Each structure stands twice: as structure tokens, then as C-alpha cells.
Chains A and B, each alone.
Chain A
Amino acid sequence: MTLLTIDHLEKHYGGVHAVAGVSFSVASGERVALIGPNGAGKTTCFNMIGGQIRPDAGRVLLGGEDITGAPPRALFRKGVGRTFQIATTFGSMTVRENVQLALLSHARRALRFLGEATDAAAEEARALLAAVGLETQATRPCDQLAYGDVKRLELAMALANAPRLLLMDEPTAGMAPRERHELMALVSDISAQRDLSVLFTEHDMDVVFGHADRIVVLDRGRLVAQGSQEEVRVDPEVKRIYLGESA
């Protein structure tokens, strides 16, 4: 069943077509990688889906509902989790407090004036931290974490609203090769357990071919290929883009 539909998205900057009529879809529980060389329009496309950039034309549908241009906080309410290329967490809080706040927000209790935030949703927070392997670090200030753990914490926060769709922008950027596969294996497991769809952009082809069910390839703002790993691997257009004209 289709969860996310990208329908003819377009974005121009002056005369440059950063994204020119891109359409594809993501099924429930499917892990889709959005790839392409630098300047292909991945990030622009991704940020239009995630609500950071408003498209000039086209629509984004989540479970049939039009979410085009909805800000990130609205997407969170609709069951979309989000991680960033440069992982950001709340540096002045502990690891557990970060997750607790995400849980409080999901329960629409983040604006309450009374009650201790640190007492909230303790059990759920513990479970989420266990799911990403951070339970032993729960009480550490999160600006003391190793970068790989910051990525995990961000993932735990993105899962706090029990999302249907996870948007991950360059999830493994800045990580060592082993860490990359550990993180993506974790994402794959969680995706399988929770029937969670994942759409991610990625530069590392090992990660893409190791963890994506399907691959969407962009070049110069256009969709040039999409399909299974095998289909994309043999696609002549994709070869040309990545390996040059002579290939």
C-alpha cells in the first residue's frame, strides 16, 4: 500500500530548476533511498517533503492526505519522524530528557506549566532508548555524547510519535564505516518491526545498496531511474551519471 506519494514536485531558483517535476512513491514499511550526484536536487526535494521548503508546484500526499508545504511540526503530528544531516539535539538536556520532551510533545503536553518534565513518560523513554541502544547513557548530558550516539538519540526522538514515515537526511554523514552499517541495520530492524517506511538520502553507495528496498535516482533536478537495487545497478542512465559518458 502506498504511504507517501510525491507528485510532480518543482522548485526553481531564478532560472535554475533545482527540482523539475519529480514523482515517486514510498510504500508502507518500505525503505527507499533518494540518491544522485551533487547538485541533483536530493536535498531540495527532501526538504520539500519535510516542510522546510515550499514547492513551486506539485503535491506531497501522506496516506492520501495532501501535506504539501506543511511545516515540520505539523508533519510530526501526522506521524512523520525526521533526522537531519547534521544531527541536532537539545544540548542542555540529558539524553533521557531529550526523548522525554519528544514524548511529551507527542502527547500534546509540552506546553504545560506544571509538573516535572523529568518525571514524564519515564517508561516509554526507557523503551525508546533501549530500542536504539542508549539505555546506559540515559542520564548523560547529550552534548557529551559521541557523534554516533547523537545520531542514535536523534533517531529515538524521531520515533517518539510512533511514526508511519521516517525522513532521514544523509543519516550516516560524518560517521565511520562500521558505525554507518550499525546505525542503518538498526533502522532496518526498527522499520521491519514497526512497519515503518523510511525515505533517506545518502552518498555512501555501500549503505544504499546494503539497506534500501528501492532506489530513486535524481540528476539535475529530474528523476532518471527508480526501482530495485538490481534494476538501478544495471540502468545505463545511472551508469552514465555516476561513471561518466564513456561507461
Chain B
Amino acid sequence: MTFADLLAQLVNGLANASTLFLLASGLSLIFGVTRVVNFAHGSLYMIGTYGAIWLAEHLGGSGLGFWSAVLMAACGVALLGALMELAVLKRIYGAPELFQLLATFAVVLVVKDVALMVWGPEDILGPRAPGLTGAVELAGQSIPEYDVLLIALGPLVLLALKLLLERTRWGVLIRAATEDREMVGALGVNQVWLFTSVFALGSGLAGLAGALQMPREPASLGLDLIAITDAFVVVVVGGLGSLGGAFLAALLIGIVKALCFALGTVELFGFTLNFSKLTLVVEFVLMALTLALRPWGFAGRPLRGLREAPGAIEHVRTPARRFWVIATAIAALLALLPAVADDYALVLATDCAIFALFAASLHFLMGPGGLTSFGHAAYFGVGAYAAGLLAKQAGASMLLALVAAPFAAAAFALVFGWFCVRLTGVYLAMLTLAFAQIVWSVAWQWDDVTGGSNGLVGVWPAPWAADKTHFYWLTIALCAGAIALLWRVMHAPFGYSLRAGRDANLRADAIGIDVKRVQWIAFPAAGAAAGLAGALYVYSKGSLAPDVMAISRSVDGLVMVLLGGVQTLTGPIVGAVLFTWLQDEILRRTEYWRLILGLAILGLVLLFPRGVVGSLRRVLRGGEA
């Protein structure tokens, strides 16, 4: 590595840091005021990039055209954000936080397919900025002029936002609402417009970030999730609600990534370390380290939780004996399915069973535990890779692989859980996401063992289970058994202790329950179940790739659980089956399955803000509170 290399990478890293900061500051502002974790923030960024490129093409290649495109894209995205707030989120501010999250997932799905419709599946390269295509000489190195502009823009935007927040009445209201939203409401401030305007501002920043990236990065349909994870990392490392913290965090991440690129491959004590391969994982390692050492990020403070309205907690009721009889009867009926279904339906039913177990395991943490995991796919993936590797590398039998996979997933969950339970709420969710992304990038990068992005192929069931019907029976038996086990534990003393920690932490402590320990134990229990689902998944498909534990799988799991209803026992199962079946059903008719699914979820969220099962139960009981 030469100094010139380092300098070049550093400039690139700092330029990235600027757009990262713009993106993250928008997310931070929105979260601070509305307490909505807006998963669609990355989608707004993506629209910013696509929109700017499209506008620039239509406005001509002049400097005026380029910069008008950037500004118009940012304003357009701001409008879009305001529209999303008005049409969707405003109606569900009273619903539990997780429902708002579900709604933003739905927006992610819708936006992705709309982008696919409008701009197609191919990556689109943006124009370069007229007048800024040259380079400046620095220490013998050419530095792109555009990068220099971006580097200057970051601090300028920070300054502008600071002035806005500190010198204007609107800014004072934003800061006050971030501090204590109920109090601001009690003082007679019109929160409706405050929320909408903050959404517009935050979205506009995301759009601006996306638009500014147009000469540096092609627009692609994967940008949304990449952007949202990057933004999460920056916001969490910097401290939720702190713009200065977000700026520092963006700089740090930009610089560390640049260092990894610049270092490249290094011989260290006889080992060859390829640092540039670490760029995928380094930001998540940084986030995990920050959260483990400073639980509220660089500049964050413990969040004041929203005061929960009385009766906001739905009850997981202890099922009557009848429940178990019905559940067993349904399982028995399912075993008869091969008599009437063709192979296609059997494969779909196998998928449904696997994802039902996956959703039930996530629900075990989220429902009784109140521990929202954004990275549950990690355990699914570890189980899948454990089974796949045992089969391919060690020649293990399917039975051994199916037994070992849950243990492997539980072992990872034990380690991750130990760190996670030290945090609460959004921070906990973000740390689970960080761990999942770390595991994912290891699987992606470690070609020699995991097969890298190609994954592993030819992981087939043992001969006795190779037949579709036999494999279906095996899956149903294992999944139903594991789900029943999870439900038993929920109603055993452990499950009650877990709920006690969620309902009233102090009270649980005062009756001798070590809440952190209980929550910690819940992680491997849920992890093992997810690991089993992952192992079954590998054998049902015959292959696996890193995307078994990509963030989109974690999101799928969350959608399944939330769609069904997080505080019901059977909700996640219904949600998983509905999700898997709908996805298949729609995919057979149109490639725009995300759009349909997203719209369906939005409709369901607005109609049934308590989840399908929860709302149905309410209706059946005749509107009982």
C-alpha cells in the first residue's frame, strides 16, 4: 500500500461518508420525532437515485439539467415521504410500534416493484456532473472534483440542520418532540403537521443522498436494503436522535472502509489477510462493538420509552385443553394431505411448514419476550449451513445433520443473545441485525468453506426421505413437534418468566427473576428452532446460498409474525402460511408479487391494526375490549 493509494481510498471514503450522513440524518430525525423505525427509508433513497438519473436524462446534459434533476428528485422524494406518512402511518400511530414497522416493510415491497415496473431490472448508470468531471491534484494523486464537493457538502448539511433545529420555531418543536412527544402534544402543538413535515424533511434528505450518488453508483433494485442497513448502522453507532453523532459515525465508517480497501491483502504472522474482503462486514462489526461498549451509541442517550396506553398489551391466553386437541387434529389432517395433493402442492406445503416453524421461533422472542429481532435469519442460515456443510464436507447423514443444525444455531444464538439482552428496544433489534449481517457476509466471503456466493449444491435428503411425500411427512412431524415444544415452553414457568420481564421489568426483578438471564436463555431456544427450519429448508431445496440468511429473510419472518399478530399463539403460523402461499400464488400470475403482497399487507394493516388472528378474535368476540 502506498500513501497515494491510501489517499485515494480515503477521499472516496469521505465522499461516501457525506451521502451516508445525509441518508442517516433523515432516518434519525424521523425516528426521533415519530418513533417510527422507517424501513422504507432506504427505498426513498433508491427512488432518489433512480429519479435523479431519469430526470437528468430528460432535462439534458447541461449543468443546470444535472443539478435541477438532483434538487427535483430530492423534493419529489420529500413529497413521497409526506404522502406515505399521510396515507399510511398517520392512521396507525395509535397502533403498537411493531405495526408501524410492518407498514413500512410493506412500503419497501411496493416501492421495489414500482421501481422494477418503471425502470426495469437492469442497473442504470447515471450521468457525471457537468463541470465537475475533472480531478484536482493532491499529493500526486488525482482526486475527482465531484468527491471534493461531496466531502464539503456533509459538514454544510450538518450545519444547516443544526441551524434549523436550534434557530427556528419548527426546529425547537422537533427537538421538543424528540425529547417528549406527549408533552409537546399536551402543550397544544399541532402534532399532525409536525409529524408530516418531519417525514418530508427526513425523506427529502434520503432522496438528496440518493440523487447525489447518481454519478458514483448505478441505480439498482438492491439499493433499498443496502441503504437502510447502512443508515441503521450509522444512526445506531452515532446514537439515535443525534445528528452530530451520526456525522461522526458516518465519517468513521467511511474511513474504516477506505482503510480496508487500501490495506488490501496483507501478510501478517504468516497468515494472508484480505482486508478488502472485510468491507462488507466491517461496519457491522463496528456497530456490534459500539453497542457492546456504549449501548446508546457515541452521542445517544437512553430513550424515554413511550408511555404505553393501558390495555395496549394483548394477552397470550393459556390455551384450553381443547386447543391442543384441535391442534393435534389439524396436524393429523395435514399428514393426510399427500392423498389429495400433487407434488407441486406438497412442495409448497413443505415450505409452509418450514416457514411456520421459522415464524414461530421468531415469535417466541418477540411475543412473550418482547425482544424484536431484525436478524432472525441468522439462526435459520446457521442451521442451513451447518446441515449443508456437515453433509458436503463431512459426508454426514441427513439425520445427523438435522440433529446437529439446531445445536449449531443455538450456539450462535447463545453468543449473540448474550450481547443483545444488554440492550432494549430498537437498539436490541439493531444489534441482532448487525450479527445477522456479520454471519451473512462471512458466508458470502469465505469461498473455501461455504462456497461463497455460489453456496453449496447437491444437499439431498437420505434415500428413505427422498420421495416428496416422505420428506413432507418428515417436515410436518419435525415442524409440528418443534412448534408444539415452543408453545409448551411458553406456557411453562419459563414462558411466564419471559412475559414477566416484558410486562414489568422491575416487578419481575423484585420477585427474584433475573430478567436478562431469562431473555438470554430464550435466544438459544428460539435459535435452535430456527436452525431446524433452516436445515429442513436446505434438504427440501437441495442447495443453499448466502441469501438464506440475507436481511430480506429476516424481514420476511417479521412480516409473517406481524401479519398474523404478535400477541397470539397461532398468529405467526397463519401469517407464515399466508405469506408463503400468497407469494407462490402471486408469482405464478405476475412477476410483481412484491407489489401485490405489499398492497395486501398495507390493506390488512389499515383494516386490522392488531394482526389478522388478533383482529378476527376480536370480531368473533363481538368487539370486546
Please determine whether chains A and B interact with each other in the same assembly. Answer: yes
Interface residues of A (CB under 8 A from B): 71-73, 76-77, 81-82, 84, 88-93, 97, 100-102, 104-106, 109-118, 120, 141, 143, 154, 157-158, 160-161
- Tell whether, in the assembled complex, residue B521 and residue A111 are in contact, meaning their CB atoms are under 8 Å apart: yes
- Tell whether, in the assembled complex, residue A113 and residue B310 are in contact, meaning their CB atoms are under 8 Å apart: no
- Chain B residues within 8 Å of A92, by CB: 313-316, 499, 502-503, 567
Q: CB-defined interface of B464-488 with A at 8 Å, one 1/0 digit per residue?
A: 0000000000000000000000001
CA gap between A158 and B512 in the complex, in Å: 10
With A113-B492, A113-B494, A115-B492: A90-B500 Cβ-Cβ less than 8 Å? yes
- Chain A residues within 8 Å of B55, by CB: none
- Tell whether, in the assembled complex, residue A111 and residue B493 are in contact, meaning their CB atoms are under 8 Å apart: yes
CA gap between A97 and B491 in the complex, in Å: 11
With A101-B496, A101-B500, A109-B493: A89-B507 Cβ-Cβ less than 8 Å? yes
Closest 5 CB pairs of A and B: A76-B512, A88-B504, A90-B503, A82-B510, A117-B496
- Chain A residues within 8 Å of B500, by CB: 90, 93, 101
- Chain A residues within 8 Å of B144, by CB: none
- Chain B residues within 8 Å of A120, by CB: 493
Interface residues of B (CB under 8 A from A): 310-311, 313-316, 318, 488-489, 491-497, 499-500, 502-504, 506-514, 517-518, 521, 525, 567
Chain A proximity of B399: nearest CB distance (Å): 24
- Chain B residues within 8 Å of A143, by CB: 310-311, 313
Apart from the given pairs A93-B499, A101-B511, A160-B511, 16 other A-B contacts in the complex at a CB distance below 8 Å: A73-B511, A73-B512, A73-B513, A81-B510, A88-B507, A91-B504, A92-B314, A101-B493, A101-B497, A109-B493, A110-B494, A110-B513, A112-B493, A117-B495, A117-B496, A118-B318
- Tell whether, in the assembled complex, residue B504 and residue A115 are in contact, meaning their CB atoms are under 8 Å apart: no
Contact with B499, one of A73, A90, A102, A141 (Cβ below 8 angstroms): A90
- Chain B residues within 8 Å of A116, by CB: 318, 491-492
With A76-B512, A110-B512, A112-B492: A105-B497 Cβ-Cβ less than 8 Å? yes
With A88-B504, A113-B489, A143-B313: A71-B509 Cβ-Cβ less than 8 Å? yes
Contact with B494, one of A106, A112, A160 (Cβ below 8 angstroms): A112
Consensus secondary structure, chain B interface: helix
- Tell whether, in the assembled complex, residue B496 and residue A110 are in contact, meaning their CB atoms are under 8 Å apart: yes
Chain A proximity of B118: nearest CB distance (Å): 46
Q: Which of B316, B488, B494, B521 has the most CB of A within 10 A?
A: B494
Q: Which of B318, B497, B508, B510 has the most CB of A within 10 A?
A: B510
- Chain A residues within 8 Å of B511, by CB: 73, 76, 101-102, 105-106, 157-158, 160-161
Contact with B491, one of A89, A118, A158, A161 (Cβ below 8 angstroms): A118
Chain B proximity of A187: nearest CB distance (Å): 17
Q: Which of A72, A90, A97 has the most CB of B within 10 A?
A: A90
Chain B proximity of A137: nearest CB distance (Å): 16
- Chain A residues within 8 Å of B521, by CB: 111
**What are 11 A-B contacts with C-beta separation under 8 Å?**
A73-B510, A90-B496, A101-B496, A109-B493, A112-B494, A116-B318, A117-B492, A117-B493, A120-B493, A157-B507, A157-B511
Tell me the nearest residue of chain B to A84, going by C-beta.
Answer: B506
Tell me the nearest residue of chain A to B501, going by C-beta.
Answer: A90
- Chain A residues within 8 Å of B497, by CB: 101, 104-105, 110-111
CA gap between A114 and B567 in the complex, in Å: 21
CA gap between A118 and B488 in the complex, in Å: 12
Contact with A161, one of B313, B492, B512, B517 (Cβ below 8 angstroms): B512
Chain B proximity of A147: nearest CB distance (Å): 11
CA gap between A93 and B318 in the complex, in Å: 9
CA gap between A111 and B503 in the complex, in Å: 17
- Chain A residues within 8 Å of B313, by CB: 91-92, 143
Chain B proximity of A84: nearest CB distance (Å): 7
- Chain B residues within 8 Å of A84, by CB: 506-507, 510
CA gap between A161 and B512 in the complex, in Å: 9
With A91-B313, A92-B313, A143-B311: A76-B504 Cβ-Cβ less than 8 Å? no
With A104-B496, A112-B494, A113-B489: A93-B510 Cβ-Cβ less than 8 Å? no
- Tell whether, in the assembled complex, residue A111 and residue B518 are in contact, meaning their CB atoms are under 8 Å apart: yes
Chain B proximity of A235: nearest CB distance (Å): 33
- Tell whether, in the assembled complex, residue B503 and residue A91 are in contact, meaning their CB atoms are under 8 Å apart: yes
CA gap between A173 and B316 in the complex, in Å: 30
- Chain A residues within 8 Å of B496, by CB: 90, 93, 97, 100-101, 104, 110, 117
CA gap between A114 and B315 in the complex, in Å: 21
- Chain A residues within 8 Å of B491, by CB: 116-118
CA gap between A160 and B506 in the complex, in Å: 16
